[in-house]
Amino acid sequence: DVCVLGSFMKDLVASAERRPLPGETLHGTGFAEFLGGKGVNQAIAAARMGARTAIVGTIGEDRYGEEFLELLSSNGVDTSWIVRHPSLGTGVGLPLVLPDGGNSIIIVSRANAAITAADVEAAGDVLVSSKVLSVQLELPVEASHTALRLASTAGVTTILTPAPVGPIDHSLAAYVDILVPNEVEAAALTGLDCDDSGVPMVARKLAEEWDLRGCVVTLGSRGAFVLDRAAGYEERVDAHQVATVDTVGAGDAFCGTLAASLAGGAGLVDAVRLANAAGALSTTMNGAADSAPARAAALALLES
Ligand code: ADP
């Protein structure tokens, strides 16, 4: 019911007291490995919400690729549309985390960057037979464009997370039903401020410019703003109070849940309420892909 087109990123995280100087080799204080990438995170979040979920993307014929296949399969995500690149390895991220929580990150897209429009067309069957397609901007734009066009033309509801944010081709916008920026992305796309008084204007401006069915701006610890343009309704949804330990992946848990909920037939505002609970719960766990909550936990928080 949900199809995600997106990236696969193996994160190798080092902690250190400070950044190394040029030419210096520095002893780190800790190390951790995580499987992430916005595509993977969203697909796992959608599957944990009970949606039948498939992912389309490109990995290498390497150990990290195997790790992704294992994680996705064990979460019930259909991995049969994943392309394995014969020479480029799976994408990696190399974050350095400092004691104050600040970080510096190198990402190397590798196989993610090699996905072509033809690869996406080869996955046309799963794209057009889904109820909801979710796409981000971590892959080459031709791939995202092709997926959105095929799905939208077939009447599939399309969601775009405009991250990482950059100039967006208007021919892409035509195939997007629901845009889900965070506040930084929404501000970058409109040049407007996303504070509490500004966010309704931001959502309305994006909805009109992009001719959207709906616009959802995620506001971190302030919750989210939802504009259901088709229904002529908007609402500010407050964040849930939770014991936050790591906000990495909150936006992806939110988006994957939104996709699953819409695929299950929920209206946009109800889907945002469940996504808001899932986003909050994901901040109570470390990691990215693996921090998405189960549907029962999100429902319990929503009803508490
Ligand atoms: P991103 O991870 O893309 O920057 P946000 O930070 O806006 O996205 O987070 C996405 C969603 O996750 C928010 O809309 C909210 O529902 C939830 N969320 C994020 N941070 C918190 C928090 N500290 N407390 C409660 N919910 C949060």
**Could you confirm whether 252 is annotated as catalytic?**
yes
Half-sphere exposure of 185 (CA within 13 A, CB side): 23
Whether 247 is in the pocket of ligand 1, judged by its Cβ within 6 Å, is yes
Q: Output the residue whose Cα is nearest ligand 1's atom 3.
A: 251
pLDDT, tens digit, 9 for 90 and up, residues 254-292: 999 999 999 999 999 999 999 999 999 999 998 888 899
Position 20 in a domain: no
Q: Give 302 Cα–ligand 1 centroid separation in angstroms.
A: 15
pTM value? 0.96
Number of Cβ atoms within 10 Å of the Cβ of 222: 17
203-215 tens-digit pLDDT = 999 999 999 999 9
Select from 28, 114, 127, 31 the least CA-distant residue to 65.
Answer: 114
User: Does residue 168 belong to any structural domain of this protein?
Assistant: yes
Residue 242 belongs to a domain: yes
For the Cβ of 291 lying below 6 angstroms from any atom of ligand 1, the answer is no
Here the CATH number for the domain that contains residue 130 is 3.40.1190.20
Residue 23 lies in a domain: no
Q: What is the pLDDT of residues 54-80, one digit of tens each?
A: 999 999 999 999 999 999 999 999 999
Q: Do 292 and 282 meet the contact criterion of CB atoms below 8 Å apart?
A: yes
Asked if the structure places residue 203 within a domain, the reply is yes
Q: Which residues are annotated as a binding site for K(+)?
A: 246, 248, 282, 285, 287, 291
List the catalytic residue out of 119, 252, 270, 290.
252
Domain membership of residue 27 (yes or no) is no
Q: What is the pLDDT of residues 238-258, one digit of tens each?
A: 999 999 998 888 999 999 999
Q: 233 is in which domain, residue-wise? A: 2-9+38-91+111-303
Residue 274 belongs to a domain: yes
Ligand 1 in reach of 280 Cβ (< 6 A):
yes
Q: What pLDDT score does 288 carry?
A: 83
CA 51/CA 47 separation, integer angstroms: 5
Residue 268 within any structural domain of the chain:
yes
Cβ of 254 closer than 6 Å to ligand 1, yes or no, is: yes
What is the domain count for the chain? 1
Measuring from atom 2 of ligand 1, which residue has the nearest CA?
A: 251
CA gap 121, 20 in Å, rounded: 44
